[in-house]
Amino acid sequence: MKLAFIKEKIAAPIWTEMTVSGYGDLAFPCFEEAKKRGISPKQLAEETAAKLRADPDVIDRIEATGGYVNVYLKLNKALEIVLKDAIKDVIASKLLDRSNIKIESRFSGRRILLEHTSVNPNKALHLGHMRNVVLGDFIRRALEVAGASVSTANFVEDTGAQVADIVLGLKYLNKENSDNLKFDEFCSRAYKEVNDAYVAEEKEGKDELKRLRNEILKKIETGDEELSEYTRGVVDKVLRANMETLLSQNIKYDFLNLESNIISENLLDKSESLLKGSHLLREAKLEETKGCMVLEMDGKEIVYSRQNGTRLYVAKDIAYALWKHGIIEKKIHWSAFGKNYDDTDIFISDVLGVEKNLGRFEGSITVVDVRQDDEQKVVANTVKILSEDSDYTHYSYGVVNISHNTAEKMGINTADKSIGMSGRRGYVIEVDQMISKIESKLKTEAVERKEEIDDDRAAKLSSNIIKYELLKTSPVKTITFDIDESTKLKGDTALYINYTYARAVNILKKAQGHKPAELRELEADEGALVKNLLFWEEKVKDAVANLKANVACEYVHEVADSFNVFYEKAKVLGSDRENERLAIVSLVEYVMRRLMDLIGLFKVERI
């Protein structure tokens, strides 16, 4: 615990929470403690700074600024204390693994079921879906680093209205894949055409297609044999096309849970019985919801099922959540679906498969965008009411918009500065299309620079560009994706990160047997970089313990910036400090590799 070591060295009060700072080398805020004491943060900062002990071997000075106490280190001594073991490991060419960083979080040592993706299997994946996916995959990696036993599930919503839309289009309107498109891309087009047909009918004062769609939905939910078999075939083809995209991006799953199995395995009936028995579910009293079944929560009626008996998404989400937490005991049947990039198995729920009891999960994390915050609150509250020790976490995130520039490049006509994605309107950028577009752009730009880029590197860099853009911003914020901004070689982009990593790798390759040596005194051109590396473990711990991918992205960008400044000013190979500087470069390569692994980026060693 490096921060704890420094905290001890300055005899900091127990209430301090020290962080890496952009002002001093380290800092801690005084706002919360000042509020408790009824004094100003500035006063508390000044009083605290005056009392702290500045160990002359490690601490240069301590200053109060506003409501913060800033701590300035003597970098050479801090280097000796903080980086000593890391440098030795680098010199010895030891490959450190996850066990070398002990990170405690509320998920450590627990069985966690992580659920992400959860896309209606009626169309191709777009960038909005992909933000859910890459956030979920980061969480999986972070949970593993924190020592949790994590299983990753994709809850496939194969019985909803959007699936009924695509069944209507393919089976009843006879839409055909005449262009031999990837099946999920073909279904995206058919889905838009069906919704265009709804709008056209509505303008004529008709609703025949919508009534047919509702009949299809009712038959799917009640298990009509012929229609259910047809729907399963369509869903399987879309799901496999979706998974082809996801698995190519090294996204990992353990289970694909079909919503239809929540129905066929009687989880909905079991859940409904439990809810009624607990007096959470009853008939509606309000006139506007008369005939519906509702959940009563916080004095409000939340519609659970419609007047015609069809259940809303919240009903299925609750049943699934109760099963995840062992509140409903039910063994699910599974069959083999495929393999992950690391050759581990993927299973899919299947009533004809092998019965398997997954056991009780001590916690669950569900990645769902901000538009479903209210529904997720209902699910979490229901789980808590029925089982106080169950830990249901909704990981919320903002939606993805498309810049006007990008929309135009992708053939979407809009007068807006940016647009939110909508499959119904055809305002989407599909993941496969964007990867292909970026690959083409990278190859064209390489030719212009009189360079070459092969298909494998272009594909990996395209994947990295999309992932990084979707992860680098705080998840609670809405983001706007722009193809030109995201593919810049300089700035806060994946290409810049990859370029810097490749630079460090190639310096080490060119060293030709020269070995890193322990650092002695730091020179001016080395100090800023070493300062940035001092507390890399703390940055990783922050990202992991708080499930913040943007923290990892921000830090790997900071390391890249400081390394490039160092490289431009300080000669490495052939200098009289070659071996010492190779130690710094080795540590940069190691830290960037660890962070890129955590973020989920491919490590491309030549741009």
Domain residue spans of the chain:
2-73, 111-397, 403-486, 494-599
pLDDT score for 101: 59
pLDDT score for 89: 59
Q: Which alpha helices (DSSP H) does 450-600 contain, by range?
A: 455-471, 483-486, 494-510, 524-533, 536-545, 549-569, 578-599
The partner residues of 366 in beta bridges, in order of sequence, read 115, 394
Residue 187 CA, chain-centre distance (Å), reads 26
Alpha carbons 385 and 248: distance in angstroms, whole number: 40
Alpha carbons 494 and 470: distance in angstroms, whole number: 11
Greatest Cα pair distance, the chain, in angstroms, is 85
Alpha carbons 160 and 171: distance in angstroms, whole number: 16
Which helix (H) or strand (E) segment holds residue 340: the answer is none
- 282-327 pLDDT, tens digit per residue, is 888 888 788 888 888 877 888 988 887 778 888 889 999 999 898 9
Query: Residues 182, 333, 312, 307: is their CA dihedral positive or negative?
Result: positive
Architecture of the domain made up of 111-397: 3-Layer(aba) Sandwich (3.40)
pLDDT score for 79: 64
Could you say which residues of the chain have pLDDT below 50?
1, 94-99
pLDDT score for 243: 96
Residue 404 CA, chain-centre distance (Å), reads 25
Q: Are 587 and 83 in contact (CB under 8 A)?
A: yes
Q: Give the 3-state secondary structure of residue 112.
A: strand
Tally of CB atoms within 10 A around 40: 15
Alpha carbons 134 and 343: distance in angstroms, whole number: 20
Alpha carbons 26 and 3: distance in angstroms, whole number: 9
Alpha carbons 97 and 107: distance in angstroms, whole number: 19
Q: Which residue has the tokens 């040592």?
A: 109
Determine whether 377 is exposed, middle or buried from the number of CB atoms within 10 Å of its CB (0-12, 13-18, 19+): middle
**Nearest Cα to Cα of residue 106 among 136, 153, 147:** 147
pLDDT score for 425: 67
In sequence order, the 6+-apart residues with CB closer than 8 A to the CB of 571 are 581
Tally of CB atoms within 10 A around 300: 10
pLDDT score for 99: 44
Which phi and psi angles does 375 have, rounded to 5°?
-65, -40
Alpha carbons 15 and 22: distance in angstroms, whole number: 21
In sequence order, the 6+-apart residues with CB closer than 8 A to the CB of 104 are 146, 545
Which phi and psi angles does 358 have, rounded to 5°?
-80, -10
Q: What is the CATH number of domain 2-73?
A: 3.30.1360.70
Alpha carbons 122 and 420: distance in angstroms, whole number: 19
What's the CATH superfamily of 494-599? Isoleucyl-tRNA Synthetase; Domain 1 (1.10.730.10)
- Global pTM reads 0.89
Residue 173 CA, chain-centre distance (Å), reads 38
Alpha carbons 289 and 294: distance in angstroms, whole number: 8
**Nearest Cα to Cα of residue 255 among 318, 322, 194, 338:** 338
Q: Which two tokens stand for residue 575?
A: 């200098």
Alpha carbons 284 and 301: distance in angstroms, whole number: 7
Alpha carbons 253 and 238: distance in angstroms, whole number: 17
Alpha carbons 313 and 198: distance in angstroms, whole number: 22
Q: In Å, how far are 155, 241, 263, 418 from 259, measured between CA atoms?
A: 7, 18, 7, 33
